[in-house]
Amino acid sequence: MKIAVAKEIEVGERRVALIPDTVSRLVKQGLEVWVEAGAGLGSFFSDAAYEAAGAKIISDTATLWGEADILLKVGIPQEREDGRSEVDLLREGAVLIGFLNPLGNPAVVQRLAEHKITAFSIEMIPRSTRAQSMDALSSQASVAGYKAVLIAAAALPKYFPMLTTAAGTIPPAKVFVMGAGVAGLQAIATARRLGAVVEAFDIRPAVKDEVQSLGAKFVEVQLNEDTVAAGGYAKEISEVSKQRTQEVVAEHVKQADIVITTAQVPGRKAPVLVTEEMVAQMKPGSVIVDLAAEQGGNCACTEPGKDVLWNGVTIIGPINLPSSMPVHASQMYAKNLSTLVQYLVKDSAIQLNFEDDIINSACVTHAGEIRNQRVKDALVNTQQSAVK
Ligand code: NAD
């Protein structure tokens, strides 16, 4: 059983799928681990460290991909410089595990199916207690929430904590976090540790207690509809509810020095929570960090990957924040992936029990088929838009 770790070729991706520590654990369990030369360098893990952990370093990319039984990576397979897709390097029947973005990029999933790859999309792991240690969406979102606050603090022309000094008293910064999922809760905790006064809002009322337990105030909005979908995710809300939400949050945005937005609805464009009118009401020098920038943005003024100065307000739309903290992001991701590998491999063979909800949810292609109905629907929608 060969477990292979690919070097990420996507521009800006510094994470790696396994770190030396997890390699040594897999090797002790009798698995053979191959690591592509230089795969860990972006995360400061040398080839020598992987070798010392028991991995074999492979310089030839085609050999690594072509002979892997299970290929582990971080991001979606890429087109290579030689014009071939990474998918085409895998042998038929091999297992691929990574963030495959199957709802956002169903074409890659189709290619994996055509190539008869058994692909596991780590973002489709159920958000259940049983699967917690494989939940890479959570581990990486937590990094993003933490880093968002540090970026905001660095961009803010003010202190975060309250200070009483001989040169006068400095009031604490006011932080407003919109969307209190994993990233939002980590942002709240980080902003509190830096000494800010924090408010938070989410359309899922269940998060109120978590927000309050972190020392933040929960901003309540009464909506006359169910806001929670299967799996505990938020639903897309009606236009009436969006308007109601915007009316309530506008005052909190206006008062804030920093707004961190993290609101997402899986498979949909991110909801716009901060309008141009709200930005216009903010104090000059205020900062918005929009963690939904890649999904269309929670702020109407966000430009993905850019810092925009709008009426004196800085709007930051970071892309792939977990990659900017690659040591711990990779460490946690490696733990998530190695747990899934251990779950799949029994007695040196891959056991695909589709009765198991973790395997059934995360396995998006097998034996030439796309297995997930939501991915099939996303593919039909993409094809229909291309025809129009
Ligand atoms: P996410 O990234 O999909 O969304 C972030 C947050 O945005 C969510 O809290 C969501 O409610 C909120 N949101 C969506 N639309 C909004 C709007 N219009 N206005 C304001 N907020 C809006 O969420 P996530 O962090 O991935 O968490 C998703 C769910 O999974 C949550 O219920 C979370 O508690 C659950 N979860 C469970 C486990 C576990 O049990 N092991 C682990 C992690 C997450």
58 pLDDT above the threshold of 90: yes
User: Which string of DSSP letters, residue by residue, matches 158-195?
Assistant: S-SS-EEETTEEEPPPEEEEE--SHHHHHHHHHHHHTT
**Confidence tier at 285 by pLDDT (50, 70, 90):** very high
**Confidence tier at 114 by pLDDT (50, 70, 90):** very high
For residue 180 the two structure tokens come to 């209190």
Element (H, E) at 200: strand 197-201
**Confidence tier at 298 by pLDDT (50, 70, 90):** very high
The reported pLDDT for the residue numbered 372 is: 84
The reported pLDDT for the residue numbered 376 is: 84
For residue 366, count other CB atoms closer than 10 A to its CB. Answer: 20
The reported pLDDT for the residue numbered 216 is: 98
384 pLDDT above the threshold of 80: no
386 pLDDT above the threshold of 90: no
**Confidence tier at 377 by pLDDT (50, 70, 90):** confident
CB 235 within 8 A of CB 223: no
Q: What's the gap between Cα 194 and its chain centre?
A: 24
The whole-angstrom separation of Cα 218 and Cα 207 is 9
144-170: average pLDDT: 98
**387 or 376, which is more confident:** 376
Q: Across the chain, what does the average pLDDT equal?
A: 95
Ligand 1 mutation pick, 221, 264, 272, max ligand atoms within 8 A of CB: 264
Q: Please tell me whether residue 218 adopts helix, strand or coil conformation.
A: strand
Query: Does 134 sit in the ligand 1 pocket, CB within 6 Å?
Result: no
Torsion of CA 154, 144, 376, 342, to 10 degrees: 160
Summarised one tens digit per residue, pLDDT across range 197-252 is: 999 999 998 999 999 999 999 999 888 888 888 777 888 888 899 999 999 999 99
The reported pLDDT for the residue numbered 227 is: 87
User: Which string of DSSP letters, residue by residue, matches 234-249?
Assistant: BPPPPHHHHHHHHHHH
User: Which string of DSSP letters, residue by residue, matches 39-87?
Assistant: TTGGGT--HHHHHHTTPEEE--HHHHHHH-SEEE-SS---B-TTS-BGG
Summarised one tens digit per residue, pLDDT across range 244-257 is: 999 999 999 999 99
Active site residues: 127, 132, 135, 138, 233
Strands 70-72 and 2-5 come out as parallel
The reported pLDDT for the residue numbered 263 is: 95
Give CA separation, 122 vs 24, 51, 134, in Å: 22, 26, 8
**Confidence tier at 387 by pLDDT (50, 70, 90):** low
The whole-angstrom separation of Cα 90 and Cα 371 is 19
For residue 178 the two structure tokens come to 């919109």
**Confidence tier at 388 by pLDDT (50, 70, 90):** low
Query: Does 274 sit in the ligand 1 pocket, CB within 6 Å?
Result: no
The whole-angstrom separation of Cα 296 and Cα 299 is 9
291-304: average pLDDT: 96
The upper half-sphere exposure of residue 90, i.e. CA atoms within 13 Å in the direction of its Cβ, equals: 30
Cα of 177 from ligand 1 centre, angstroms: 13
What are the contacts of 368-371 at 24+ separation with CB within 8 A?
368/113, 368/114, 368/116, 369/113, 370/106, 370/109, 370/110, 370/113
Cβ contacts of 234 within 8 Å, gap of 6 or more: 202, 203, 204, 227, 228, 263, 264, 265
> Rounded to two decimals, what is the model's pTM?
0.95
Ligand 1 mutation pick, 227, 233, 291, 358, max ligand atoms within 8 A of CB: 233
CB 76 within 8 A of CB 100: yes
Of the listed ranges 40-44, 79-83, 233-237, 322-326, the least confidently predicted one is 233-237
